[in-house]
Chain A
């Protein structure tokens, strides 16, 4: 069974477009970097592996991926437009010149610390949010992972994946690409060949991770791509909540970010993965900005496991991203909560895939798309129920909010059901911020901007409440900043 539907709705007059947006994370850190010359061939792949001093199995993994990638074609089915990417013009590795191994914070370049301070992510533990451990990834490498000792006392492994390759090769070998095979798609193959860092998380059996884990990604160097790789494993009955945040300097050139995230939840385990994505979106004419081509997938491997994706996507020139859940274990649960904002010339094609394999599996999809300016926002989602998936249930809700008369919202829900006992519900709405709502709130004394912010935050509420508290506040602020100058 296949079903597709497009809703292009337009908002008319009066509500003046949102334009003015200040991207306060747009600064550049002046730091000496060790950056590879642009270009990609087998030698570059070997060099990256060598720079990291990787064991043989990793080099083989990379080369296999690279050879696959060479034979693959860039996907063109998404509802996005951009000039062809010259993959030979990108540098595939960049790292701040620093001491090879950091024993303490004193050894981190002060400029880097300053960068993260400016971004509101202090890396000194005493200054941090008490309950969040951070891994900071700058261009291609991890610069600092906090609270490692506290976590290891609980048996939790939280470290850069480049270190995990050395310290826990058996785990990396076992799980890397067990959810996203190297040949899965064009960008996943590219990532597998050239990824340089990212986070590795392992929560052993029965452990509830004592704090929120988070990774903060920062692209700094020009003409570099960031290819991070995240691998999170929750053993039987383990629980972890993981957050990621991302920013990049304001540059006129487009930059590529092609990440792969894999989650594995064993029997009874739960993984909650939250993203606040604020990559540089480009200017109001669509110049510059990050191409955010990301593959995220979770595997509910064991019975009664649960994986939940929450994303707030306000940045990037182009977003191409479908965090998915494979519901393999019986009674497993998959969730996807998303707010995607696209304005000016931003384009977002995002959604999820819920693949029901086990019995009594259930999934929930709540997607909130906001389009403004010339923004194009597409929801693309697949709910697939395989033959053996008795009593699968899915609830999908896709809401679009339009601001201005030049933006677009599109919804492509795909449904494939091979088991007659499945129970699927799909709801979709497209609305615009009405003059009536605005006038109503303004008549109560709110400024036009405060009124818009209130309406938009209300629209996103079902997603925001899934975020951990501090991030919910940050997400709201981010939306407010993005909506500055929304009405004239």
Chain B
């Protein structure tokens, strides 16, 4: 589904990613871990097409297509979703109105008819239940006056509504208490499926207790320096990142 080869990328002209190789297949869940500043969030934003995040070398292929030339909205319509680390507020625009416009925009892109009001209401009620979000949140302005945890849950609600093929979660677990974390995990797990892939960017192993990844990658200085299965995350939890750095130094 996602094939990243020797990816180099800069953020507003500062090089951050220095040769990433990553293969993500449909049905898989990958966790990207690593210390602060290693480039985890940059990777997620480059894939989503954030302005200012430039690919300087290498390639990102999604469903067999190089996506460098696609705008962020085109990537979204193709099925790429990014759950933001810092969701922004959009005053005066209700959650419902935004989601309905988003769904219809994506449907239009795919040549499908607009969703009916009744179907939309049914869908959003279902999905809101999944992330235990009260109806009143749907009518409120997007993220305005939401607590940190509510914002993150709102991201998962949007993901559930848009049903992406590739979901990128950028530190969705940060700042969540344990109850909120469980709700978020519940939402993500519900989306797991054979034709979907999920990439979790996270600092902490904690999230991976609830969303069990198939692969764990460690990023350091803009490169994947180690890959493994869930046990790698546990080891990082116990021993930190320094042993990987040591290993790397010994190898060189």
Measured between beta carbons, the chain A residues less than 8 angstroms from B50 are: 439, 443
Measured between beta carbons, the chain B residues less than 8 angstroms from A442 are: 71-73, 76
Taking a contact as CB atoms under 8 Å apart, the answer to whether B105 and A447 are in contact is yes
Complex CA gap A436/B86 in Å reads 10
Number of A residues whose C-beta is below 8 Å from B? 25
Stretch at the interface among A137-145, A418-426, A456-464: A456-464
- Counting chain B CB atoms within 10 Å of each CB, the highest count among A442, A450, A462 belongs to A442
Measured between beta carbons, the chain B residues less than 8 angstroms from A19 are: none
The contact of B76 among A435, A443, A455, by CB within 8 Å, is: A443
Taking a contact as CB atoms under 8 Å apart, the answer to whether B105 and A458 are in contact is no
Complex CA gap A448/B101 in Å reads 13
Complex CA gap A457/B97 in Å reads 11
Complex CA gap A450/B101 in Å reads 9
Closest CB of chain B to A242's CB: distance in Å?
26
Stretch at the interface among B16-24, B29-37, B87-95: B87-95
Mark out the residues of chain A between 433 and 473 whose CB falls within 8 Å of any chain B CB in the assembled complex.
434-437, 439-448, 450-451, 454-455, 457-462
- Counting chain B CB atoms within 10 Å of each CB, the highest count among A435, A440, A450, A461 belongs to A440
Taking a contact as CB atoms under 8 Å apart, the answer to whether A445 and B98 are in contact is no
**Is A184 in the interface zone, CB < 8 Å from B?**
no
Taking a contact as CB atoms under 8 Å apart, the answer to whether B92 and A444 are in contact is no
Complex: chain B residue closest to A14, CB-CB: B51
Measured between beta carbons, the chain A residues less than 8 angstroms from B88 are: 434, 436-437, 440
Taking a contact as CB atoms under 8 Å apart, the answer to whether A446 and B73 are in contact is yes
Quick one: CB contact mask for B107-139 with A, threshold 8 Å, 1 for yes? Answer: 001000000000000000000000000000000
- Judged by DSSP, the binding face of A is helix
- Interface extent on B, as a size class? 20 to 34
Complex CA gap A457/B76 in Å reads 22
Taking a contact as CB atoms under 8 Å apart, the answer to whether B87 and A440 are in contact is yes
Stretch at the interface among B77-85, B173-181, B186-194: B77-85
Taking a contact as CB atoms under 8 Å apart, the answer to whether A445 and B84 are in contact is no
Measured between beta carbons, the chain B residues less than 8 angstroms from A459 are: 91-92
Taking a contact as CB atoms under 8 Å apart, the answer to whether B72 and A458 are in contact is no
Complex CA gap A459/B92 in Å reads 6
Closest CB of chain B to A26's CB: distance in Å?
30
Closest CB of chain B to A113's CB: distance in Å?
35
Complex CA gap A286/B241 in Å reads 61
**Is B156 in the interface zone, CB < 8 Å from A?**
no
Measured between beta carbons, the chain B residues less than 8 angstroms from A444 are: 76, 98-99, 102, 105, 158, 162
Taking a contact as CB atoms under 8 Å apart, the answer to whether A455 and B102 are in contact is no
Closest CB of chain B to A207's CB: distance in Å?
36
Taking a contact as CB atoms under 8 Å apart, the answer to whether B90 and A443 are in contact is no
Taking a contact as CB atoms under 8 Å apart, the answer to whether A441 and B51 are in contact is no
Taking a contact as CB atoms under 8 Å apart, the answer to whether A454 and B84 are in contact is no
Complex CA gap A455/B142 in Å reads 11
**Is B219 in the interface zone, CB < 8 Å from A?**
no
**Is B227 in the interface zone, CB < 8 Å from A?**
no
Measured between beta carbons, the chain B residues less than 8 angstroms from A448 are: 71, 73
Closest CB of chain A to B64's CB: distance in Å?
21
Question: What are 6 A-B pairs with beta-carbon distances under 8 A?
Answer: A14-B51, A435-B51, A439-B51, A440-B84, A446-B101, A451-B73
Ordered nearest first, which 7 A-B pairs have the shortest CB separation? A458-B92, A458-B93, A461-B92, A444-B102, A445-B76, A442-B72, A442-B73
Residues of A within 8 A of B (CB): 14, 434-437, 439-448, 450-451, 454-455, 457-462
Sample of 7 more A-B contacts, CB < 8 Å, known A446-B105, A454-B90: A437-B90, A440-B84, A443-B50, A443-B72, A444-B158, A445-B73, A458-B92
